[in-house]
Structure 1
Amino acid sequence: MMSHNDDICVYSRSIEDLPEEILLRIFRSLLPYKDYASIRLVCRQWERLWRVIKSWRMNTFYDSLSLSTSSVSIHWHLIDPPAKFNLTPRFSHSVCYVDSKRMLYVFGGNRDMATSLNDFWSLDLSTRSWERILATGSYPPPKCSSTFIDDEQGNLILFGGRSMIYIDDIHMRKQLHNELHAYSLERNSWKLNVNFNEPGPICGHSASMVTVNNQKRMIIFGGCTLTNDQSQQATPQSTNDLWQWTDIQTNTWTMIHVDGIRPEPREGHSQFTLNSENILIVGGSSLTRVCRDVWMFSFQTNQWTQIAVNNQYPNDFAPSNDDLSYLPFCMISPSNILITFGRLKRHPTEHERHAYSQYDFSHCDKRSRDDVLTVSSSFPSSSSDENDERNRCSTTSKRSQLPYINNRYSMMDLSSGFQMYRLDLSNIFSSNPCVTWLPSKCTSVFGSPSHSSLYYSLIYTRSELILFGGIEKRKLNLRREFSDKDNRFRSKSSGTLAFITISNIAL
């Protein structure tokens, strides 16, 4: 029989008395933001274990992406938009991640094809909580398709964009913007930077920060501009111009002179800074086609170089033409990999159909589940808050209650989630530069958002990917006598926030 003193001895032990293996197991489940910064301050042992778990988490993430022969699991964690903050679902919005603040900043976007927004939000990655920012100064107008980047000097730079304005009660036209606004993280205020040498009204362009000759510069490429035709009416036109903007102190725009060939004019593409001498552009669309090419620009030679794209099985390894021009890419620098997510377009096998019919949808957003399945009122309700993880796990044992679905097309609706696509950049600086679409490592798309197929944002943070917003477009089959050009689109914007971890172990 245990004495009273023994009881005191047993229950007075703390977490510091646990073996290091158990501590590592606990630390592995913590978010790599403020939690990591806190545990390293406890004691020297915890700081040493923090370094171990930090290295393990990052290496696991990079290896899972780069090793094409290893299996990988994609873990989706969806958080529905908070109703109390009235965070409007959106697409074509502007996103900027600031690692020093551990914050994701979101500006504007489209609520629908005719309505633009100019609300400003921050997402605390440590708590997974949204907050609307009420800033002072010269506030940007409502717009979408703008670029939003960190100048690494305490400011977020918002440039360009477009919005729709009413000409009369029933007619609208596209308005492009040429304003450059700088948001100060320290002063919580917007500043409008006026310069008469800017590229002009533009949207759908790309931007990234580059350090050239020890000077920070924002480089923008392409986009959609307005030009006057013979009747002096402004018409949209894609461009392939390359511009640079120096920091806030000098506030100077300069068009970069390009020697030799240029990429085809385009918009909706992605741009990345490879180093202080080179930038890379991927994807987009021109006036005539979807751009599947890749180009690299050198600041030393002021020349563009087209990079060969290897794709042995286009239908499996790369997104389809219907989606590619609307998908953002995200760069994982240590792995030399570009990531994007597109809809998986294939029929599930009989084995997958049986497995999918018993899948637990309790962690998916409630709206998508209600659209697909008709279930009784006893079905577990959706849980979108991270604090409800216990409720989400408790429903796993009830998978057998889901009805078996025999309809093949219903199964396509269930299995048409986001597939990860990877573009390998490891040979881009070789003697024969090329990029390669790698084989898909995971075909399980359950848990991914159901209304975010196009115009979403994708950001890489600390060993996880963050996907937000987007819009889904589906063709409505009209009468048979109508051609495909007469088909209409049904659009639905999304406010779902998705955190994506990629590894063999759910982090």
Structure 2
Amino acid sequence: MEMELETCTSNVHIDDLPEEILEFILSKVSPYRDVKSCMLVCRRWYRLAAGVTRQLRQTFQNCVYESKVKWTRIAPEIDIIRVTERYSHCACYYDKSLYVFGGCTSMNTTFNDLWRFDLARREWIRPLAMGTYPSPKACSSMVVYKDSLVLFGGWSHPTPYPLHQAAGFFYELHMYKPEVNRWYLVTSISREHPPPTAGHSASIVKDTMLLFGGSSVPGTGTNDLWRFDFIDLTWKKIVTDNKRPSPRFGQTQVTVDDQHILVIGGCGGPNQIFNDMWLLSMDKDPWEWTEVKVNNTDCAAPQLWCHPACKIGNMITVLSKPTKSVSKPTSQPSPNLRPVENIQQNRVWVPPVEREIPPSDRGGDNPGPSHRMPTAGPSHYGDQRYNSSSTESDEESMPQFKRPSIVENDSPRQPLQSGRSRLQPSDPDSTSKLGAILNYVEQQKKLQLSAMESTSSVRTGSPSVRPNAMSNRQKQLEALRKMEEKLRENMAQQAKQKQTGQSRNTEAQNLTSSRRRDPHSQMHLHVLDIAEVVQGHVTWRPIDESFSLDAPDETIFYSLSEGRGELIMFGGIQRDIQSMQRGVDLKSHLVSNILYILSPLKTSI
């Protein structure tokens, strides 16, 4: 029996497996590195691997169409070389890697470095290329033509030190060949060429590159159309006779087919934000622009000029926060992974705004000098917040006093936990700070009691100027008592945590913080169906109202590229563009170097 079993097992080969099992195994292989090797094994494996690749791509497109994607956050390692934080950079996908060039920081310092993110190994690599390097710049365009990356235009922002860097626009055309790791400066043999331009859009059609729009003067746009022929190395300005799109910059341009390109959104200057779409037909003589009808605009992505778009099949994808409210999260972060933190809240602090207390709320007949108290929204205070379980009457009767300054400017905000006080310090001296606040509350209670006694002793039998003065003081005293109880509970909880010394508390707080993030400020996937764009109309797909806890907060001027069955977002600046345009969001914001992968929520073969 044993000999027969050994004989049977020795004759079993992997080729004896059913094709369904082989397909399932190949579906778990990396699409960037191992699938191509599997296709070289034999004809059967080539056929199965090719079918799995097509199926995975179709599954990805279906998930994007239904907005069923999951977010994966990849942060650069601290111990190795790190890609610098940046926004307004350019990026493109080529040969299993994401290439990133240029961009600028929050201090408007521009770069001319080139980075490559290996999607197979999930790691950053900086190629030290040779040849003629481009100038440091941002807002340039980079597209893939055959085996080269084509870089054009851009601009450098002026810095406070003109000797180091001055403002300027560029019109140079560079080509980078990854195989030889070298930059080339392409010199055109034609007399005419585009002016120095930044914020334009570019796309490849056959052996030509089409450029549209852009800005040659800060704050103004253009609607010129240029074509570069890679065979003849010549520029030509295309003139159309019919109606053209309005001058703009910051738009997105995609190639629909060999005869059509689509231009989406853009900005024409102050208070000129465009959400329209234009189709360029190159099969007519002369070329013709046609404005495309947009359906279901309620689900459209806002601010298309600062949110880049990416074409996936017959769809255009945009990442931005929704215009409407959203519902509950779709997934919870894994307890074994570090949750996504709100880096903007942890590293940006805004001082509170003081307001004067109305005389009616000061208490007493002679309020004396004017008192002030700081008022701010949730983003202004980190630890100095109260429990949401307090009733409205308690908030109305809260004594108007100046809170002691106990929060440092750079202290990170602590998460909120249900059933616990929001006054949760995070530094080592939190117990002493709570004790200081508790002493302050006790002093306020003594003052209120003494005021009540003095009022009752002086004004016995005489009508009060403020008949409700005693009731107001009683409400304030009751609010102080509740605050004292909460502070004592916090001190007891902190003492218990110090005794137990459990390290899981920090992880639980981080998880709770991620759950408490505002879902309306998180980015969602917006999908535009362009299957019938040649017929003259497109349709925005309904937004998936659920949100992912791994999705970043509102980010603009990032890059968006398509990989093999996934969408790649990199960089950007965390900023609310609508508040910035209204002039109410003047605080500094954080520039990101985080890379996000959007992959299918469920993979099926």
Q: TM-score, normalised by structure 1?
A: 0.78
Which residue of structure 1 aligns with residue 64 of structure 2?
65
Match 1:338 to one of 285, 298, 316: 316
Amino acid at match of 1:246: D
Conserved 8 A contact 2:294-2:538? yes
Provide the residue aligned with 1:303 in structure 2.
288
1:455 to 553, 557, 574: 557
Deviation digits for residues 201-226 of structure 1 (CA, Å, limit 9, x no counterpart): 11000001113xxxx11110000113
**Could you say if the C-alpha distance between residues 176 and 361 of structure 1 is closer, same or farther in structure 2, counting changes exceeding 3 Å?**
farther
* Worse-matched range after superposition: 106-115 or 201-210: 106-115
What letter is aligned with 1:162? Answer: W
Compute the displacement of 1:197 (Å).
2.2
- Structure 2: gaps of 5 or more residues: 347-411, 418-503
Structure 1 residue 366, shift from structure 2 partner: 5.4
Q: Does 1:265 align with 2:247?
A: yes
**Secondary structure of 2:268's aligned partner:** coil
Q: Say if 1:31 and 1:219 are closer, same or farther in 2 by CA, change over 3 A.
A: same
The equivalent residue for 1:190 is 183
Q: Distance in 2 between matches of 1:61 and 1:297?
A: 28
Work out whether residues 140 and 199 of structure 2, in 8 Å CA contact, stay in contact via their aligned partners in 1: yes
Change (3 A) 1:360 1:449: farther
Higher mean alpha-carbon deviation, 105-114 vs 410-419, is at 410-419
Bigger mean CA deviation after superposition, 42-51 or 283-292? 42-51
Q: Give me the whole-angstrom Cα distance separating, in 2, the residues matched to 1:495 and 1:81.
A: 7
CA distance in 1, matches of 2:578, 2:567: 32
Distance between the aligned counterparts of 1:210 and 1:442, measured in 2? 36
Secondary structure of 2:195 counterpart = coil
CA drift at 1:188 = 2.0
Q: Does 2:419 match 1:420?
A: no
Q: Find 1:89's aligned residue among 81, 85, 88.
A: 85
Residue number among 80, 99, 103 corresponding to 1:105 in the alignment = 99
CA distance in 2, matches of 1:476, 1:52: 45
Q: Aligned pairs, how many?
A: 447
2-11 vs 454-463, which deviates more? Answer: 2-11
Q: Once the 2 structures are TM-superposed, how far is the Cα of residue 241 of structure 1 from its aligned partner?
A: 0.4
What residue number does 2:199 align with?
Answer: 204
Deviation string, structure 1 residues 354-380 (Cα, Å, up to 9, x no partner): x8888758354456497675499xxxx
Q: In the aligned structure 2, how far is the partner of 1:275 from the partner of 1:129?
A: 33
Residue type of the partner of 1:439? P
Q: 2:600 aligns with which of 491, 498, 502?
A: 502
Distance 1:173 1:55, change over 3 A: same
C-alpha change, 1:182 and 1:116, in structure 2 (3 Å) is same
For 2:538, the equivalent position in structure 1 comes to 435
- The separation in 2 between residues aligned to 1:258 and 1:147, in whole angstroms, is 23
Aligned residues of 2:531 and 2:538 also touching (Cα < 8 A): yes
Task: Tell me the residue number matched to 2:263.
Answer: 281
Matching of residues 318-329 of structure 1 within 5 Å: 318-320=300-302, 323-329=303-309
Structure 2 residue aligned with 1:25:
24
Displacement after TM superposition at 1:464 (Å): 1.3
Cα distance, 1:64 vs structure 2: 2.9
1:474 deviates by 4.6
> What aligned pairs does 1:23-422 form with structure 2 within 5 A after superposition?
23-66=22-65, 73-83=68-78, 84-98=80-94, 101-152=95-146, 154-166=147-159, 168=161, 174-195=167-188, 197-211=192-206, 216-226=207-217, 236-247=219-230, 250-287=232-269, 288-299=271-282, 300-301=284-285, 302-311=287-296, 314=298, 317-320=299-302, 323-333=303-313, 336-344=314-322, 346-347=324-325, 349=327, 352=328, 360=335, 362=337, 364-365=339-340, 368=343, 374=415, 402=508, 411-413=516-518, 416-422=521-527
In the alignment, is the contact (CA less than 8 A) between 2:326 and 2:519 conserved in 1? no
SS state at 1:32 partner: coil
Identify the structure with the greater strand proportion.
Answer: 1
Q: Do residues 471 (structure 1) and 573 (structure 2) align?
A: yes
Measure the CA separation in 2 of the matches of 1:290 and 1:340.
16
Question: Secondary structure of the equivalent of 1:75?
Answer: strand
3-state SS, counterpart of residue 186 of structure 1: coil
Contact 2:339-2:511 at 8 Å conserved across structures: no
RMSD: 3.7
Opposite residue 540 of structure 2, the aligned amino acid is W
Amino acid at match of 2:240: V
Kept in 2, the 8 Å contact 1:415–1:446? The answer is no
Question: What is the CA-CA distance between 1:200 and the residue it aligns to?
Answer: 1.4
TM-fit CA distance, 1:308: 0.9
Q: CA deviation at 1:87?
A: 0.9
Per-residue deviation, 1:112: 2.1
Alpha-carbon distance between aligned partners in 1 of 2:333 and 2:203, rounded to the nearest angstrom: 45
Distance 1:444 1:486 in 2: 27
- Contact conserved, 2:170 with 2:196, CA < 8 A, in 1? yes
Contact 2:277 2:291 survives alignment (8 Å): yes
Cα distance between partner residues in 2 of 1:462 and 1:81 = 21
8 Å contact kept, 2:415–2:512: no
Letter of the structure 1 residue corresponding to residue 195 of structure 2: G
| More deviation, 52-61/170-179 | 170-179
Counterpart residue identity of residue 453, structure 1? T
How far has the Cα of 1:105 moved from its partner?
Answer: 1.4
Deviations 1:14-52 (A, max 9, x none): 765655444333322222122110112223432232133
Contact 2:326-2:546 at 8 Å conserved across structures: no
Q: After alignment, is 250-259 or 24-33 more displaced?
A: 24-33
CA distance, structure 1, for counterparts of residue 323 and residue 239 of structure 2? 42
**Structure 1 residues 289 and 40 mapped into 2: Cα distance closer, same or farther (>3 Å)?**
same
Q: Report the alpha carbon displacement of residue 402 of structure 1 after superposing the two structures with TM.
A: 3.6
Q: What SS does structure 1 have at the residue aligned with 2:104?
A: strand
For the Cα contact (< 8 Å) 2:292–2:533, is it kept in 1? yes
Identity of aligned residues (%): 31
Whole-Å separation in 1 of the counterparts to 2:579 and 2:208: 48
Residues 411, 364 of structure 1: alpha-carbon distance in 2 compared, 3 angstrom cutoff: closer
**Contact 2:569–2:595 (CA<8 Å) still a contact in 1?**
yes
Deviation of the 1:141 alpha carbon: 1.1
- Do the aligned partners of residues 160 and 405 (structure 1) sit closer, same or farther apart at CA in structure 2, a change above 3 Å counting? closer
Please say if residues 63 and 69 of structure 2, whose CA atoms lie closer than 8 Å, have aligned partners that are also in contact: no
